[in-house]
Amino acid sequence: MSIGVMLVDDHAIVRSGLSLLINAHDDMQVIATASNGEEAFQIAQEIKPDVIVMDLNMPGENGMLTTARIKKVMPQIEILVLTMLEDREYLFRVLKAGASGYILKSADDMDVMLAIRTVSRGEAYLYPNAAKSLIQEFLHNVEQEGKNETYQELTRREQEVISLVAKGHSNKQIAEILHLSIKTIESHRSHIVEKLQLRTRSELVEYAIKKGLLEVD
């Protein structure tokens, strides 16, 4: 059974070129085309294609909004975004809208065919740089979560101390503010360094900024 494909692009030459390319393969066929988002939404409801190849920049309702609308009403339809925009922000917004794939118009013909086949199986397809961006974002989130967990390991008193250190107070001043001995403050700072692996005051300041600890009292 061939994959029923719908093409959504405001340029007729793009729709024609893709139609010729797709229809040359026995396992897929273009069953509809649309030149804008509104038209695409209406046609999709009528014919329910397996895969929609969606452009992002179109007059009227853009491909991002159309993708979200279609997925909300017809979640079984897989959407592959085919665009000129190689932008990390667009990538994440497109995936959040419900698209299963993101590929550039500059990609090789066979890569586009592979992308259509991949999303038709309910799998995700991303061009190499997009996949790299996702991995980087994931690693960043993991790193931030790790920092959050480490911060939670600090005692309430240690959190107070690191905030005061970041604000420029000396051990003596911190001891006076918290009504503790200087030796106790030094002990707290030692524990903070051990837990956070931050050796210099500048590192503590940077960490405090990230944690929002430098608001004015």
Which pLDDT tens digit goes with each residue over 89-115? Answer: 677 788 888 888 888 888 889 999 999
Does the pTM exceed 0.75?
Answer: no
Q: Structural domains in the chain?
A: 3-133 (3.40.50.2300), 154-210 (1.10.10.10)
Q: How confident is the model at residue 137 (pLDDT cuts 50, 70, 90)?
A: low
φ/ψ of 212, rounded to 5, equals 70, 35
Average pLDDT over residues 75-83: 93
Convert the pLDDT of each residue in 26-77 to its tens digit. 999 999 999 999 999 999 999 999 999 999 888 888 899 999 999 999 999 9
Q: Where residue 149 falls among pLDDT bands split at 50, 70, 90?
A: very low
* Nearest Cα residue to 69 out of 109, 50, 49, 42: 42
CB-based contacts of 103, cutoff 8 Å, min separation 6: 80, 81, 82, 83, 111, 112, 115, 125, 126, 127
Return d(Cα 133, Cα 86) in angstroms, integer.
11
Who wins on pLDDT, 201 or 22? 22
Poorest-confidence range of 5-19, 80-94, 198-212?
A: 198-212
The token duo for 37 is 């988002």
Question: Does residue 158 have a pLDDT over 90?
Answer: no
Q: State the pLDDT at residue 152.
A: 57
